Amino acid sequence: MANKDHLTLLQSGVKRWNDWRETHRDVLPDLIGATLVNAELMGADLSEADLRQAHLFGANLRTARLNGAYLNVANLRTAHLELADLRGAHLIWAQLNMAHLGGAHLSGADLRGADLAGADLRAADLSEANLDGAFLQGADLSGTDLRGANLSGADLSEARLVRTHLDGTILEGCIIYGISAWDVHLDEARQTNLRITPKGEPEITVDNLEVAQFLYMLLQNQKLRAVLDTIASKVVLILGRFSAERKPALDALRAALRSHPNGYIPVLFDFDPQTQKPILDTVKTLANLSRFVIADLTDPNMVRSELTYITANVPSVPVRSLIEGDAALPTEYATWERYQTFLPVYRYASLQELLASLDDAVIAPVEQLVRPHAL
C-alpha cells in the first residue's frame, strides 16, 4: 500500500515533487501499488522509489529518473518512457508491453520475466541488463545496445533487430521464430539452442542468429529451395578485370555458357582495380555459390590475389584458368596448381578457338571435378 503523503505529493505536480526529493534525499518514496494511470510524470525524479505493483498504464514518464527504482510486477503498458533513466531499475515481471522506450537508459536493469511484447526499444541502452525469460515478441530492437545482456530463455518471436548490438550477449534457449535480423553485431555472443519454430510445432534449434531466419525460410519456402538449388548447380563465376580490349572475349564466353545445353548461369565479377572496398570476402561468397570458376589469366595482375584467396579458402570448387597466346603465367601459378581442383591452364590462340573448344577443353574437364550440391 502506497504512502498516502508520498502519493498525494506526486499527484500535485512534477515540480513540487522534484523540489521535495531534492530536499529529502534520505527518503525513499513508497508508492507500492499506487494508481497512476495516464499520469503526467515527465521528468519526475523517481530514483530508488518503490513502485512495486504500481499501475502506470499509459503514464507519461519521458526523461523521468527511475534509476534504482523498484518496479517489480508494475503495470507500465503503453507507458511513455522515452529517454527515461532506468539504470539498475528492478523490473522483474513488469508489464511493459507496447511501452515506448526509445533511447531509454536501462543498463544493468533487472528485467527477468518482464513483458516487453511490442515495445519500442529503438536505440535504448540495455547493456548488461538481465532479460532472462523476458517476453520480447514483436519488440523493435533496432539500434538497441544489448552488449553483455542476458537473454537466456527470452522469447524474441517476430522481434526486429536491425543494427542491434549483441556483442557478448547471452542468447541461450531463446525463441527466435519470425525474427528479422540485419547487420547485427554478435562478437563473442553465446548462441546456443535458438528455436526457429513457433510453439506448437516440432522444435528445431540452431546456434547462429543470422543463419536462423534464412534456414527457416529455406525450410518453409519450396520456391526458395528451388532457386538455391538452381544457383548451386548452374552458376559459373567468371573472374577478372576486363579492359575494353578483353570485353568481346568476355561477352562471347558468357553467351556460350548461357546457350550451353547444361543451362549455365554466368556471373561476372568485373571489378575496378582502383576500388578501396574489400573484395576478397565477396569473391569467396560468389565462389562458394558457384558450380565452378573460370579465371582469365591473360593479364594475371588483375586476378592473382583473388585466385590465391579462392584456392586457399574454397578448395572444393573447381577452377578453370584460361590464357590467350603466349602470355606469361603469374608467379603464384605454382601455388595454385597444388590444389586438386585447380586445373592446368588452357591456352588458346584466338577467341574463335576458345569457343570452338569450349566443351572439350574447358567444360568437360572441370565438370569431372564438380562435387554434387545438396540443399
Give pLDDT tens digits for 110-147: 999 999 999 999 999 999 999 999 999 999 999 999 99
pLDDT per residue over 12-24, tens digit each? 999 999 999 999 9
> Is 306 domain-assigned?
yes
Enumerate residues 6+ apart whose C-beta is below 8 A from 285.
Answer: none
Q: How far is residue 162 CA from its own chain's centroid? A: 7
Residue 276 has pLDDT above 50, yes or no: no
In a domain, 332, yes or no: yes
The answer as to whether 5 is a domain residue is no
pLDDT at 197: 86
Structural domain harbouring 358: 226-367
Q: Does 107 reside within a domain? A: no
Q: Hey, what's the cell of 119? A: 515495445
Tell me, what amino acid is at 190?
R
Place of cell 504500481: 54
Per the confidence metrics, is the pTM higher than 0.85?
A: no
Residue 137 lies in a domain: no
- Give the per-residue pLDDT at 270: 62
Q: Rounded to the nearest 5 degrees, what angle is found at the Cα of 134, between the Cα atoms of 132 and 137?
A: 140
Sign of the Cα torsion 224, 228, 229, 231 reads: positive
In a domain, residue 185? The reply is no
Q: Which CATH number characterizes residue 317's domain?
A: 3.40.50.450
In a domain, 245, yes or no: yes
Domain count, the chain: 1
Q: Is residue 62 part of a domain?
A: no
